[in-house]
Amino acid sequence: MKTVKPIANMLALLLGAGYIFMAAPVHAERLKDLASIQGVRQNQLIGYGLVVGLDGSGDQTTQTPFTVQSVVSMLQNMGINMPSASSLQLKNVAAVMVTTSLPPFARPGQMLDVTVSSMGNAKSLRGGTLLMTPLKGADGQIYGMAQGNVVVGGVGASANGSRTQVNHLSVGRISAGATVERAVPTSLGEGDAIYLELNDTDFSTAARVAEAVNRQFGPDTAAAQDGRVIRVRAPTGSQQRVAFIGALESMNVTPAQTNAKVILNARTGSVVMNQAVTLDTCAVSHGNLSVVINTDPVVSQPGALSGGQTVAGAASQIDIKKDPGQVLLLKSGTSLAEVVKALNAIGATPQDLLAILQAMKAAGSLRAELEVI
């Protein structure tokens, strides 16, 4: 018996330790998923163009005069003189906005996917062709040219006043529909340093990243400047620097625990929470108050030969019903998922649930940041 007891105690400790690790798992993530290189970013491009070849589903020229003006301007640039813009009756043309993103390190000749969106009252862009459209950046410079056949995922049909539609018809996409014409210079840091920017500001995660980099590449290699930016010493040669950044991004770093947060959608009643949400002991009372109003028509009919008139009225009956309130005791450490389940069991509606969670936050029982969208 004396030899079994220490073994039992050891098993209990191991099981307890195993429970702790299962309750609070630690996950390491790649550094490239936690942070980005300062200066390495996308740039948005936008352009205005025309989609032609539509089967009568284009813009109505009486309501979208800019479509006619664009067609006239395009034809004049091609040497075709138009007597009057008002004489054009276009049904197969739609004015569109073309958008895409220029990835970092893009070079002239590289192909990009573009999204084509109608900006007028065109019924559908299906089967249309986008004419050559310059794509400009925020500085007004042209960085790409787009052209090609628009692919629309939706479909629609109409006949004799009936119409049916599946998915969206006024937005399409052109795969490899744009060609990069100008490169955006991208610098991988200046001098002997690069800067990592965390996706989410967190001082603990920044300190852990700097510690992991110094542990792998040597002391004084990285230093956290604030809760978001980490300065990292890197080789000066371009080839050595690219290899160093590749090894840096492949590192595994355990981020700090995320902030406890509850997201409430007031329109749909949706509640989304993360695993860091906890509760203190509290009591919740819930009861419904309903008011029902029934109105019945009442007709007053005069007697025969009385010379009176028939009068129509209404009689209303008002009933107020209050369901008995129920008190729900929530102990400390109870997960929010169990709270939501218990409140649903006693008949709380989504709007009631939003009000209860806000009251729990005001009472200090909800250990989480509450955000209503």
CATH number assigned to the domain comprising residue 198: 3.30.70
Using DSSP's 3-state secondary structure scheme, residue 87 falls into helix
In the numeric block, which tokens belong to residue 321?
A: 């019903």
Domain count, the chain: 3
Contact status, residue 144 vs residue 137, Cβ threshold 8 Å: no
In the numeric block, which tokens belong to residue 289?
A: 């108050």
Question: Are 47 and 170 contained in the same domain?
Answer: yes
pTM, full prediction? 0.67
Taking the CB of residue 290, how many other CB atoms lie within 10 A of it?
9
Question: Are 207 and 243 contained in the same domain?
Answer: yes
Question: Are 60 and 138 contained in the same domain?
Answer: yes
Question: Are 171 and 63 contained in the same domain?
Answer: yes
Say what the pLDDT of residue 4 is.
40
Which domain does 326 fall in, by range? 261-302+310-372
Whether 209 maps to a domain, the answer reads: yes
What is the residue-level pLDDT of the chain in tens, covering all 373 positions?
A: 444 444 333 333 333 333 333 334 547 889 989 999 988 889 999 999 999 999 888 888 778 888 888 888 888 888 888 766 666 778 899 999 999 999 999 999 999 999 999 998 888 899 999 999 999 999 999 999 999 999 998 666 655 556 666 667 889 999 999 999 999 988 776 678 899 999 988 899 999 999 999 999 999 999 999 999 999 999 988 888 889 999 999 999 988 877 788 888 877 777 787 777 777 777 777 665 555 556 677 767 777 666 677 777 766 666 656 566 566 666 666 666 676 676 666 666 767 777 777 888 888 887 888 888 8
Whether 341 maps to a domain, the answer reads: yes
Question: Are 64 and 171 contained in the same domain?
Answer: yes
Say what the pLDDT of residue 116 is.
96
DSSP state of 169: S
Question: Are 91 and 204 contained in the same domain?
Answer: no
Say what the pLDDT of residue 8 is.
36
Say what the pLDDT of residue 15 is.
33
Q: Each residue of 241-252: b (16+ CB within 10 Å) or e?
A: beebbeebbebe
Distance CA 290, CA 242 (A): 68
In the numeric block, which tokens belong to residue 61?
A: 């020229």
What is the Rg, in whole angstroms, of the alpha carbon atoms belonging to the chain? 33
Question: Are 69 and 47 contained in the same domain?
Answer: yes
Distance CA 145, CA 109 (A): 10
Say what the pLDDT of residue 237 is.
84
Question: Are 147 and 227 contained in the same domain?
Answer: no
Q: Which of 180, 107, 110, 171 is nearest to 142 (CA)?
A: 180
Question: Are 282 and 367 contained in the same domain?
Answer: yes
Whether 148 maps to a domain, the answer reads: yes
